[in-house]
Amino acid sequence: MTEIIQKKLNDSPAMRWTALVLIASMMFFGYMFVDVMSPIQALMESQRGWTPDVFGTYAASEYIVNVCGFLIIAGVILDKTGIRFTGELSASMMLIGAVIKFIGITEWFQTTAMADWLNSWWVSMPASAKMACFGFMIFGCGCEMAGTTVSKAIAKWFKGKEMALAMGLEMAIARVGVFAIFSISPIIADKMGSVVAPVAFCTVLLLIGLITYTVFTFMDKKLDSQTGVTAEESDPEEEFKFSDLGKILTSEAFWIVALLCVLYYSAIFPFQRYGANMLQCNLDGISAEEASNIFRWFPIGAAVITPFLGNFLDRKGKGATMLMCGALLLICCHLVFAFVLPETKSAVIAYSTIVLLGISFALVPAALWPSVPKIVDEKILGSAYCLIFWVQNIGLCFVPKLIGNILTSTNEDNPAVIAAKEAGADFIPYDYTVPLIVFAGFGVLALIIAIYLKAVDKKRGYGLELPNIK
Ligand SMILES: NCCCC[C@H](NC(=O)[C@@H](N)CC(=O)O)C(=O)O
């Protein structure tokens, strides 16, 4: 008798890569929305009165609910309800948050009684910023939950296949989103004459992201029906348990990776918010649009290299060394921005440092996320990812605010800044030296931890330097 072996949906390369494109699209649009305001900071200041301080508070709002424990709940939701429901929930939360933020910054909203009320307390924060923060909080919960959901979805669809490459590609696609928005946000704002237009554009894209993820859920349902998995049959051992948190939180290796993650990313994502403005301030006579054009090469450099490094890691290993090199490169780049760029005002130095920072941004994520399964038990991997995101979010929540405060306070007596403000100029030429030294400081700490991780790996034999494919 001939046995018919049914091919599962993810056995087809076309199907599993289609699934990756669908889920990565949601993250692509999500990452676009995260940075939609970054290249139009100067316009936000002139059109809505958002000072760097306000901008710092706004940037922090994305993470505040996650830091207060939402990410831990998100882990439970993900493990209890699965990738389909959690993905839909995440995409919906991103969309709802985006709509609130869009409404908050419209001209119409500024004329409402609600805006008057919002302007009547915590007066340094304009009503538009308060509403935008509220929306960004909801968006941030959805976006971070989506980040873990997508990792779990890729693990499910690519298990035993090109998993590291798929994860690298997902991150690469998300970075292209950042590149795209740095390119088009100032153009849209300029063409439409308002900061509202790019936010409206990205909100519509989030709706498309919800649709693409919905299409993926149908594919995933089909895959489950082929493998005979139903909610009732799922293995209770694989489920998130609160007792697992204790096991993870008492693991030294977990803390090393989590600390490395928070320190490294604190010098990357918050910098991304200020990067275009920093370039505009350090290169003479360039517009916000020109500065964004330079800065957008940062995520694109990372996007191009990350999949290759993922592939290299799968075949050759050297994960711990890659983490060290990435941290070292980060320090050098921030120091060049702090001390060399203001002196030389050279576009060549700006471009090359941005590309080098992009390489650093490829080295660390490509090595960091696939290292986690090597240091924690597979059974508690989902919880570990959630907890690492949680620790990382604490940094991502407070560092932008810290940098905003430092930028404001170190420029209080800056004559160029005072003159530009008095003249009501669109562009304020801030001195970014101290914030950049702070970013480099995070890099130094990350490097020390990466060196320590390599030593611990040698002692304990986690295999961080070994290839993933045996
Ligand atoms: N599914 C991708 C793994 C994480 C990628 C990583 N993103 C994060 O760490 C986010 N928590 C940060 C954020 O959303 O701000 C990345 O390198 O992009």
pLDDT along the chain (470 residues), means of 10: 67 94 96 90 85 86 91 83 92 98 94 94 92 96 92 81 82 90 90 92 97 97 84 54 79 93 95 90 87 84 88 87 96 98 94 93 87 76 82 88 92 92 87 97 98 95 83
> What separation in Å is there between the alpha carbon of 157 and the centre of ligand 1?
19
* pLDDT given at position 442: 97
Q: Give the pLDDT confidence score for residue 1 in this predicted structure.
A: 45
Given CATH 1.10.3720.10, say whether it is the number of domain 23-111+120-216+244-460: no
Q: What's the gap in Å between 369 CA and the centre of ligand 1?
A: 9
Mutate which of 78, 145, 171 for ligand 1? The one with the most ligand atoms within 8 Å of its CB, which is 171
147 lines ligand 1 (CB under 6 A): yes
| Predicted pLDDT of residue 232 | 47
Closest CA to 215 of 367, 87, 406, 318: 87
Verify whether ligand 1 is closer than 6 Å to residue 31 (CB atom): no
Among candidate residues 130, 103, 104, the one with its CA nearest the CA of residue 119: 130
Q: How far is the CA of 269 from the centre of ligand 1 (A)?
A: 9
Nearest atom (ligand 1) to Cα of 62: 15
Question: How many CB atoms sit inside 10 A of residue 53's CB?
Answer: 16
Closest atom of ligand 1 to 365 CA is 17
Compute CA distances 231 → 35, 82, 158, 221, 378, whole Å: 37, 8, 20, 11, 20
Ligand 1: which residue has its CA nearest to atom 15? 269
What pLDDT sits at residue 72? 87
Task: Determine if ligand 1 sits within 6 Å of the CB of residue 392.
Answer: yes
Is the CB of residue 35 below 6 angstroms from any atom belonging to ligand 1?
A: no
Atom of ligand 1 nearest to the CA of 143: 14
Contact 71, 393 (CB under 8 A): yes
The residue whose C-alpha atom lies closest to atom 14 belonging to ligand 1 is 144
Nearest CA to ligand 1 atom 7: 147
> Does the beta carbon of 216 lie inside 6 Å of ligand 1?
no
| Ligand 1 atom showing the smallest separation from residue 393 Cα | 11
- The answer to whether the CB of 140 is under 6 A from ligand 1 is no
HSE-up of residue 435 (Cα within 13 Å, Cβ side): 30
Least Cα distance to 34 among 147, 189, 162, 119 occurs for 147
286: which DSSP letter? -
**Atom of ligand 1 at shortest range from CA of 148:** 1
CA angle (108, 103, 47) in 5-degree steps = 60
List the residue whose alpha carbon is closest to atom 11 of ligand 1: 389
Instruction: Tell me, using a 6 A CB cutoff, whether residue 269 lines ligand 1.
Output: yes
Instruction: Establish whether residue 220 lines the binding site of ligand 1, counting it when its CB lies within 6 angstroms of any ligand atom.
Output: no
In the reported structure, the alpha carbon of residue 432 is separated from the centroid of ligand 1 by a whole-number distance in angstroms of 26
Per DSSP, the three-state class of 214 is helix
- DSSP assignment letter at 66: I
Contact 386, 75 (CB under 8 A): yes
Q: Ligand 1 center to residue 68 CA distance, Å?
A: 18
Structure tokens, 393: 């979010």
The helix/strand/coil state of 160 is coil
Which residues, including other chains, have CB under 8 Å from residue 391's CB and lie 6 or more apart?
Answer: 258, 259, 261, 262
**ipTM score:** 0.95
Task: Check if 144 has its Cβ closer than 6 Å to any atom of ligand 1.
Answer: yes
From 363, 368, 389, give the residue whose CB has the most ligand 1 atoms within 8 Å, as the site to mutate.
389
Give the residue whose CA is nearest to atom 2 of ligand 1.
Answer: 147
Instruction: Confirm or reject: Cβ of 360 under 6 Å from ligand 1.
Output: no
Ligand 1 centroid distance, CA of 145 (Å): 10
**pLDDT of the residue at 329:** 97
Domain ranges within the chain, ordered by starting residue: 23-111+120-216+244-460
- On whether the pTM is more than 0.95, the answer is no
Q: Is 465 helix (H, G, I), strand (E, B) or coil?
A: coil
H or E element, residue 308? helix 297-316
What's the token pair of residue 430? 């801030």
Which ligand 1 atom lies nearest to the CA of residue 27?
Answer: 1
